Structure formats: structure tokens, C-alpha cells
């Protein structure tokens, strides 16, 4: 991951997705061709992006709407989601950048926490917060597009799926 660009962020409910690496083509589940990052990082636990001692955006920002009011925690319509503070902040921090952020260093701790040290002093920190290691406690996963092999963190346990 070191040296690669982190250039896109989106979510499905509260699952946060970051695309890392050069753009590649893949076919979606509904048969459409789409451009995605070579690698995908899916986060289903506590996380934040910070600089120094300031949190710029984090997991819980998904529960507040763009205008800083308490948001409905359910999606509206069949595939639509309300715009949240997290969406708004990541749009400007990641998606609208002329030059994408680069991953300068990757650190992993003893409990499968992950820190990506990015350009401009930004740090993406992921900290698993589930005590179990079953299917209900997936914290994060990292995989290459069009690959069937995923690094999956369940609680603080790493496995390849």
C-alpha cells in the first residue's frame, strides 16, 4: 500500500470504503463496467482521519446529517442514503482533491488496528472494537479488485478469505 494513492471514499450504510492504488475496470454485480481503485479497504469498526490532535472526520459522523442535525440512521428509498456529515467531509477531504493523497507509511498494532500515514500529516486510524472473532465482528478488510482473496480482520484476528 505504501506509495499508492488513496483517491476515493464512499459508503454503504455505515460501512466505509476507500479505494487505494491506480484506477482499474471491473464489472459490477448488475453487469455495468465501472472504474474502481486497484485495492479496496472496507471498514466496519471505529475509525478516524486526523491531523495532529484534530479529528477531521470519523465513524460516528455518519449519524449526523450534513447540516449538523441528528440524522435518520436508516436509508431512504431503495438505494438512497441520507447525506451525512461523514459524506460531506470525505467528499472535500478525499474525492474532490486535484492530487490524491499518498500512503507514506503503514503501521499495524497488536490488536489488528491499522494506521495509514498520508500526505499533509493526515492519518487514517482504524481500531477494531469488537471482542469476538466471528462473522458478526468483522472490523475491516483489504483486497485487490477482481481477486477472490481478502485479508479480513475479525475482532483482532486476521485471516485470509
DSSP letter, residue 75: -
pLDDT at 36: 95
Report the distance separating Cα 58 and Cα 47, nearest Å.
Answer: 6
**What's the chain's average pLDDT?**
90
* C-alpha span between 138 and 41 (Å, rounded): 13
Q: What is the pLDDT of residue 100?
A: 95
Q: Is 54 exposed, middle or buried (0-12, 13-18, 19+ CB in 10 A)?
A: exposed
The region, left, alpha or beta by phi > 0 then psi within -120 to 50, assigned to residue 21 is: left
Mean pLDDT calculated for residue range 66-70: 65
143, 150 in Cβ contact below 8 A?
yes
Residue 103 has pLDDT above 90, yes or no: yes
Percent of the chain with pLDDT over 90: 75
Residue 130 domain boundaries? 5-160
- What is the count of structural domains for the chain? 1
How many CB atoms are closer than 10 A to CB 140?
Answer: 22
pLDDT of 75 above 50: no
Q: Which pLDDT score is estimated for 74?
A: 45
Distances (CA, A) of 63 to 54, 69, 75: 19, 9, 11
Long-range Cβ contact pairs of 59-62 (< 8 A, separation 24 or more): 59/14, 59/16, 59/86, 61/85, 61/86, 61/89, 62/11, 62/14, 62/86, 62/87
- Tens of pLDDT, residues 16-61: 999 999 999 988 889 999 999 999 999 999 999 999 999 999 999 9
110-139: average pLDDT: 91
| pLDDT value of position 134 | 74
Amino acid at each position: 500500500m505504501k506509495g499508492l494513492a488513496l483517491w476515493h471514499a464512499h459508503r454503504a450504510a455505515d460501512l466505509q470504503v476507500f479505494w487505494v492504488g491506480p484506477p482499474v475496470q471491473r464489472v459490477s454485480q448488475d453487469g455495468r463496467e465501472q472504474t474502481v481503485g486497484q485495492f479496496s479497504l472496507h471498514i466496519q469498526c471505529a475509525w478516524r482521519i486526523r491531523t495532529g490532535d484534530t479529528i477531521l472526520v470519523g465513524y460516528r459522523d455518519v449519524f449526523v446529517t450534513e447540516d449538523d442535525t441528528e440524522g435518520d440512521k436508516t436509508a431512504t428509498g431503495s438505494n438512497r442514503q441520507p447525506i451525512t456529515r461523514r459524506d460531506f467531509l470525505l467528499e472535500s477531504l478525499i474525492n474532490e482533491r486535484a492530487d490524491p493523497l499518498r500512503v507514506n507509511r503503514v503501521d499495524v498494532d497488536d490488536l489488528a488496528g491499522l494506521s495509514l500515514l498520508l500526505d499533509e500529516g493526515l492519518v487514517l486510524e482504524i481500531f477494531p472494537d469488537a471482542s469476538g472473532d466471528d462473522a458478526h465482528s468483522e472490523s475491516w478488510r483489504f483486497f485487490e479488485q477482481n481477486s477472490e482473496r481478502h485479508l479480513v480482520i475479525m475482532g483482532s484476528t486476521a485471516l485470509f478469505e
